[in-house]
């Protein structure tokens, strides 16, 4: 089966997620990459944004979660993003979400980032 993909990468937001109490007070930057899969032939033929998933919609849905209420885990942030996209676009074949936390505070070490990546099928995972 042929699968088409829309990628929106490097979305940057400021949020207050983390297990450490300081993360919930000070906040930090989060970077999100999305890939959604669906048949894009109709949009390619019509040249009409109504026949696809707009990047702006994906950005807004992602921002609502990342800049929304504080969560403890990156896993919960990623799941919230996938769920919100699935509710608006239930006909997607697949949603992949990667959430990166640059310079995540890990005691005794310096890392470029910590990240979580999830993959969900809307019709199965959010019926």
| More confident position, 103 or 115 | 115
Domain ranges of the chain: 5-125
Q: What is the pTM of this model?
A: 0.93
What pLDDT is stored for residue 2 in this prediction?
A: 65
Burial class (CB in 10 A: 0-12, 13-18, 19+), 14: exposed
Q: Give pLDDT tens digits for 53-109.
A: 999 999 999 999 999 999 999 999 999 999 999 999 999 999 999 999 998 777 777
Is residue 24 part of the annotated active site? The answer reads no
Neighbours of 23 (CB within 10 A): 18
Closest C-alpha to 74, from 105, 95, 35 = 105
Where does residue 47 fall: left (phi above 0), alpha (psi -120 to 50 degrees), or beta otherwise? Answer: left
Residue 22: is its pLDDT beyond 90? no
Could you tell me which CATH number the domain at 5-125 has?
Answer: 3.30.1130.10
Catalytic: which of 12, 24, 42, 101? 101
């Amino acid at each position: 089966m042929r699968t088409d993909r829309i990628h929106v990468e490097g979305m940057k937001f400021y949020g207050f997620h983390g297990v450490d109490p300081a993360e919930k007070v000070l906040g930090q930057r989060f970077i999100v990459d999305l890939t959604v899969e669906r048949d894009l032939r109709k949009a390619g033929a019509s040249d009409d944004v109504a026949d696809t998933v707009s990047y702006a919609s994906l950005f807004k849905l992602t921002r609502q979660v990342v800049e929304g209420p504080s969560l403890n885990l990156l896993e919960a942030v990623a799941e919230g993003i996938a769920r919100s996209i699935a509710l608006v676009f239930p006909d997607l074949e697949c949603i992949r979400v990667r959430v990166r936390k640059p310079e995540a505070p890990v005691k005794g070490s310096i890392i470029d980032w910590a990240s979580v990546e999830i993959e969900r099928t809307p019709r199965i995972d959010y019926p």
